[in-house]
Amino acid sequence: MKGSIAALLMALEAMRKTKTDPAFNIECSFTADEETGGELGAGHIVRSGLISADYAVVCEGAAGARVGCAHNGVLWLVVEIVGRSSHASSPQDGINAFEAMASTVTKLKRFRKQLETPRRRYRDFNGNNRYPTMVMGGIFEGSDGDKINTVPGRSFFSIDRRIVPSESLAKVEKELIGELKQASQQLPNARFTVETKLRIEPCKVDPAHPLTQAFARAVRTVRRRPPEFRTTSGFTDLHYFVRDACLPGVLYGVKGEHGHAVDERVAVHDVMQTARVYAEFMQHEIG
């Protein structure tokens, strides 16, 4: 995101120095919590009525010749399993929460295969097929007092379920919790709790909307390639503006490499090209 912020500020500075007036009012907001749902950033801005814009450009979710018109939704759950701790020399006195967790994850892996069936398929704007995904164990842990010679009495793990635009968050949540309940019934000696950490609906905009077409023209002018509309597999802050503020919106930013790794980076050339796209877009009326 620092690359996209740099590109946006470069575009605005270039227009100021060349005394080029934008074709419409420009408002900029910089927030820091999109990775954890955006409630305190974009969500707060929208709920508090702090925007008076007619359109929204979220500076991520697509890059290069691609214009983002949709993003996946997400459901984050934390599943806790409580057994009973005992000394490893007397395992019969305990209920192994780790083994219960492993059994639950195995059952969920079988369920996960169903996400790649034709009825779950979402066809993207370019005709490519996309499917929901589910990752388990982004975080997992046991009790603070666990050690090698104990039967673990508590364990928990996370589930990250990505929701394609053809799915409903409510139905996905009901289905997944139902699968967890079935798994827990097969392990009657352990207790299960499920906590929802994040719920975001998928978001989709019309590629034929005047805003989307205007941005696509700017991309074509700068990148010298036919623009392609896409759905990003991650979630973004776009849904706050589209669903809550009822604004047309698009996704576009700098192309990053090695995201969330120690060598995450962007190319300087792409920062420059993205700045040119922003500036080109700002100079032309939408309609």
Residue ranges per structural domain of the chain: 2-71+203-282, 73-200
Q: What is the DSSP letter of 198?
A: E
Residue type, 73: G
Of residues 144, 141, 145, 148, the one with CA closest to residue 89: 148
Spatial contact of 144 and 158, defined as CB atoms under 8 Å apart: no
Residue 163 to residue 123: CA distance in whole angstroms: 13
Structure tokens at 100: 């219960």
DSSP 3-state of 72:
coil
Percent residues over pLDDT 90 in the chain: 91
Average pLDDT over residues 252-266: 90
Residue type, 122: Y
Band (pLDDT 50/70/90 cuts) for residue 287 is confident
Q: Given the structure tokens 């749902």, which residue do they identify?
A: 37
How high is the pLDDT of residue 260? 81
Q: What is the mean pLDDT of the chain?
A: 95
**Predicted TM-score of the model (pTM):** 0.91
Residue 275 to residue 249: CA distance in whole angstroms: 18
How high is the pLDDT of residue 87? 94
Pairing of strands 56-58, 249-251: parallel
Spatial contact of 35 and 200, defined as CB atoms under 8 Å apart: no
For 184-232, write each residue's pLDDT tens digit: 888 878 999 999 999 999 999 999 999 999 999 999 999 999 999 999 9
73-200 CATH fold: Alpha-Beta Plaits (3.30.70)
How high is the pLDDT of residue 42? 96
Average pLDDT over residues 53-73: 96
List the beta strands (DSSP E) in the chain. Answer: 56-58, 66-71, 73-82, 86-87, 122-123, 129-130, 133-142, 150-151, 154-163, 191-200, 203-204, 228-232, 249-251, 256-257, 265-266
For 102-121, write each residue's pLDDT tens digit: 999 999 999 999 999 999 99
For the cut 90, the answer to whether the pLDDT of residue 278 exceeds it is: yes
How high is the pLDDT of residue 143? 85
Average pLDDT over residues 156-174: 97
Average pLDDT over residues 1-8: 94
Structure tokens at 123: 């066809």
How high is the pLDDT of residue 228? 96
Pick the CATH number of 2-71+203-282 from 3.40.50.1360, 3.40.50.2020, 3.40.630.10, 3.40.50.300: 3.40.630.10
Structure tokens at 129: 């097929």
Average pLDDT over residues 29-56: 94
How high is the pLDDT of residue 31? 93
Residue type, 208: A
Residue 34 to residue 237: CA distance in whole angstroms: 6
Residue 122 to residue 234: CA distance in whole angstroms: 15
How high is the pLDDT of residue 138? 95
